[in-house]
Amino acid sequence: MKPVAVFRHSKTEGPGYFATFLNSQNIPYELIKVDEGMSVPSTSDAYSGLVFMGGPMSVNDDLPWIAPIMALIRNAVQQDVPVLGHCLGGQLIAKALGGHITRNPIKEIGWGEVAVVDNPIAHQWFDATPSKFPSFHWHGETFSIPEGATRILESAYCPNQAYALGKHLGMQCHVEMTREMIETWCAVGQDEIAAANSPAVQTPQQMAQGVEQKLAALNSVAAQLYTHWIHGLKA
């Protein structure tokens, strides 16, 4: 089986639980460390799927790897290779497919409830997932829904939390979190947290409350989404 390509755009925003899930399914993957200067492939031919993680930068920034990644996403979609995006990754896919990335009305950082949109596509992806569940957030921008895609997840502070287009999935929220990732992000982002004036931004102490139970529930949701996604992997 061809490996899944996982693109890391920031050292602190690796695959997290997604790697745990792939290992549990005996699915090989290759970590492409864009943050360390690894080159972006020109085509998706060598991979069964492409996954894009998060990052503190904006998709609208003038960074040398953004255009090649968006070209790769378009190539994958054309070749029927499934793509999956987490936060920045979801924004990259959205923009590559003609969507727009703009500032969200307020910043979201920490745990916040999201709701599954009541439509057939959302029900396919979330299946037995509760209609509402706490997810993890860390973003100040948001994507529009690309043409032909369906909005499948929303929150009070960000209506576009996830979209699906066939076998492709883009998310604004972070379902891939681990305890270590949360602790690292809080340490690295303490100034951002302190400067934020938003009802949707939590303190590190608030994020740590009940974290094991919240992560277990989030891992369950992530496993459901990832299980649906790997069914589309290209041989």
Which ranges in the chain belong to alpha helices (H)?
Answer: 17-24, 66-78, 88-96, 120-126, 179-188, 190-195, 204-208, 211-230
Report the share of the chain in percent with pLDDT over 90: 97
Query: What number is the average pLDDT over the span 109-135?
Result: 96
Tens digit of each residue's pLDDT (9 = 90 or more) over 30-82: 999 999 999 999 999 999 999 999 999 999 999 999 999 999 999 999 999 99
One-letter amino acid of 107? K
Cα separation of 138 and 24, whole Å? 27
Structure tokens belonging to residue 1: 């089986």
What confidence category does residue 129 fall into, taking pLDDT thresholds of 50, 70 and 90? confident
With CA atoms as reference, report the closest residue to 229 among 83, 25, 58: 83
Q: Is 4 exposed, middle or buried (0-12, 13-18, 19+ CB in 10 A)?
A: buried
Note the pLDDT tens digit of each residue in 195-217. Answer: 998 999 999 999 999 999 999 99
- CA proximity to 234, closest of 24, 125, 84, 82: 82
Q: What architecture (CATH level 2) is domain 4-230? A: 3-Layer(aba) Sandwich (3.40)
Q: Would the CA dihedral through 52, 66, 163, 131 be positive or negative?
A: positive
Question: What does the pLDDT read at residue 221?
Answer: 97
Q: Dihedrals φ, ψ of 92, to 5°? A: -60, -45
Q: Does 153 score more than 90 pLDDT?
A: yes
Model-level pTM? 0.97
12 beta partners: none
Rounded average pLDDT over 190-194: 96
Confidence band (pLDDT; 50, 70, 90) for 235?
A: confident
